[in-house]
């Protein structure tokens, strides 16, 4: 089963004609995780044919406008469409007050059920995956996030076929490490299964380069990193330092040193609109498995 990740917005502080403010959707079985909700995100969902009422969890990296200005409209849309689930909202310190104020100021009719948690470390652990938050270094409290799928046992289909076993109700027990009996014959889990390592997907948005960036990216199957500026000019380096952002070169070098399998760059300054070829050329010289994200790009892990 592939894990699809769709980029709903890939700009930085100012949107452009081709890039909306930051937002990403990760889908896994019945879960749909929205990471940030910049201005215009719900319209991007419409264009991508995403039903907002399917979203189960919202992960907020930090409270800068380009990452949260879409929240009032998003919440109102859920309310008007009869959202029946409880929306779980996670973020750094200050998130509870932020959400409380949004509902106080903007959502005056028809509210939704929600639960807000200010998180650090592992904050969700279910049968399929864990979610964890790590502090980053920006000018306000900021989280990076990791989606970590759990390791699973899988059945060797060719071995199963040799035993001429099909659709037996106890087959699922083998993937739980349990032995089963079929026609008085013991089938051992260890003989018919193999381990499949869970996938790691990292979300590393607004931050200067710091040790926790590498920690989040380490061994990731896909690391999604901000790359607001280029280091090819003094101006780019200066802005990156002033506003505590990473450059394309810093993100790619981090991926290279962190055993990252694939890197997707996002959160680009408006100065690089229509310069994707330049961004890609510089990035791939450092880390060949780099994708320059654009709005509505889907990557499957």
For the segment(s) 4-151+197-300, the CATH number from 3.60.15.10, 3.40.50.300, 1.10.10.10, 3.40.1160.10 is: 3.60.15.10
Give me the residues of the chain with pLDDT under 50, please: none
Domain limits of the chain? 4-151+197-300, 153-194
- CA dist 60 and 36 (Å) reads 5
pLDDT per residue as tens digits for the range 166-225 = 777 777 787 888 888 877 788 778 877 888 899 999 999 999 999 999 999 999 999 999
pLDDT at 75: 95
pLDDT at 233: 67
Q: Is 66 known to be catalytic? A: yes
pLDDT at 158: 77
Among the options 66, 206, 221, 295, which is catalytic?
A: 66
Decide: pTM greater than 0.85. Answer: yes
Structure tokens at 41: 């995100």
Run of H or E residues at 125: strand 121-125
Q: How many beta carbons lie within 10 A of that of residue 300, not counting itself? A: 11
pLDDT at 169: 77
pLDDT at 281: 96
pLDDT at 78: 95
Contacts of 275 (CB under 8 A, 6+ apart): none
pLDDT at 83: 95
pLDDT at 235: 73
């Amino acid at each position: 089963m592939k894990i699809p990740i769709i980029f709903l917005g890939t700009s930085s502080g100012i949107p452009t004609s081709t890039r909306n403010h930051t937002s990403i959707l990760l889908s896994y079985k019945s879960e749909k995780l929205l990471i940030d909700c910049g201005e215009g995100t719900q319209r991007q969902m419409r264009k991508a044919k995403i039903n907002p009422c399917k979203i189960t969890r919202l992960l907020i990296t930090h409270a800068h406008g380009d990452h949260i200005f879409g929240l009032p409209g998003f919440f109102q849309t859920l309310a008007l469409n009869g959202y029946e689930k409880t929306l779980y909202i996670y973020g750094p310190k200050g998130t509870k007050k932020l959400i409380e104020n949004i509902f106080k100021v903007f959502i005056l009719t028809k509210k939704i059920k929600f639960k807000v948690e200010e998180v650090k470390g592992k904050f969700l652990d279910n049968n399929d995956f864990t979610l964890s938050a790590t502090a980053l270094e920006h000018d306000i409290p900021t989280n990076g996030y990791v989606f970590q799928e759990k390791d699973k046992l899988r059945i060797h289909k060719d071995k199963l076929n040799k035993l001429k076993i099909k659709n037996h109700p106890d087959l699922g027990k083998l993937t739980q490490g349990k032995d089963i009996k079929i026609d008085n014959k013991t089938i051992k889990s260890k003989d018919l299964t193999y381990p499949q390592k869970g996938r790691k997907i990292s979300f590393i948005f607004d931050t200067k380069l710091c040790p926790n960036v590498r920690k989040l990216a380490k061994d990731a199957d896909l690391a999604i990193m901000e790359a607001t500026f280029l280091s090819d000019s003094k101006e780019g380096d200066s802005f990156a330092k002033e506003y505590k952002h990473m450059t394309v070169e810093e993100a790619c070098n981090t991926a290279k040193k962190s055993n990252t399998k694939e890197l997707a760059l996002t959160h680009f300054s408006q100065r690089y609109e229509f310069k994707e070829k330049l961004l890609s050329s510089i990035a791939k010289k450092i880390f060949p498995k780099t994708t320059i994200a654009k709005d509505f790009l889907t990557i499957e892990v």
